Amino acid sequence: MPLIRSVFQDELDRVSQTLFDLSVMVSDSMARATKSVMTKDLKLAEEVITSDEKIDTVQHDLDARIIDIIARQQPVASDLRALVTALRMSADLERMGDLAHHVAKLVRLRHPESAVPAELLALVEAIGETAEKIATKTGVVISTRDVALAVQVEKDDDEMDNLHRKLISTLVEPSWPHGVETAIDLTLLGRYYERYADHAVSVARRVIFLVTGKFA
């Protein structure tokens, strides 16, 4: 292993580190948003809403840093590709933060009522846990560039799709007792989690592309 590393390589590593940090932030944000759904905790929901600004700032600073690296180092080929891919990952991660923020806003909108009827809390919790699992694995994929784990993220997304279908099929049962407004809330809630997972899959796929040169 070479003991001398280039400044440029250090800069790339710091970019990866910040992408990982962002993944932790958006994973934590969605975990807390889900918890606020479960507990109708307005304070927690407000915290998630506020912390989205912090995520946006980190993402904005990261993008500025990436563009500065491109301007100064004038990378070509795989290094340039890695930096452009990092810009796209940061956009995906920022959007994941937005979607956690949307979940928390729904909790705030319905407070002190619950956004989710009691008998659906377990299903929404399972959806939330799957989202968190996917985001956490995506963070590890960013750190380790582990292609096998990136493929697992896609499998986990199939699980998310199944849970999402289960949610929608519950809403359209003739016996659905909670009315249209709650069905709309749950449709949007389901969509936020589904899109959150889609963006995590997108990040994992970009890592696969960086490592293998091919899209999965």
123 near its own copies (CB under 8 A): no
Per DSSP, helices labelled H in 40-120 are 42-73, 77-110
Q: Are 145 and 153 in contact (CB under 8 A)?
A: no
Q: Are 45 and 108 in contact (CB under 8 A)?
A: yes
Give the total of residues touching its own copies (CB under 8 A).
24
CB of 31 to its own copies, least distance (A): 24
Report in angstroms the alpha-carbon separations of 94 from 28, 46, 52, 191: 13, 18, 9, 17
Q: Are 124 and 182 in contact (CB under 8 A)?
A: no
122 near its own copies (CB under 8 A): no
> What's the CA dihedral at 66, 70, 76, 80 to 10 degrees?
20
Q: How many degrees, rounded to 5, is the angle at CA 185 between CA 179 and CA 190?
A: 125
CB of 105 to its own copies, least distance (A): 14
Closest CA to 36 of 88, 131, 103, 117: 103
From candidates 35, 40, 65, 81, binder to its own copies by CB under 8 A: 81
> Binding segment for its own copies among 15-23, 74-82, 112-120, 148-156 (CB under 8 A)?
74-82
From candidates 140, 171, 210, 216, binder to its own copies by CB under 8 A: 171
> Binding segment for its own copies among 1-9, 35-43, 126-134, 166-174 (CB under 8 A)?
166-174
> If 0-12 CB within 10 Å is exposed, 13-18 middle and 19+ buried, where does residue 120 land?
buried
Nearer CB in complex with its own copies: 156/185? 185
71 near its own copies (CB under 8 A): yes
42 near its own copies (CB under 8 A): no
From candidates 67, 109, 122, 211, binder to its own copies by CB under 8 A: 67
209 near its own copies (CB under 8 A): no
**Contact footprint for its own copies (CB under 8 A):** 67, 70-71, 74-77, 80-81, 84, 87-88, 91, 168, 171-172, 176, 180-181, 183-184, 187-188, 191
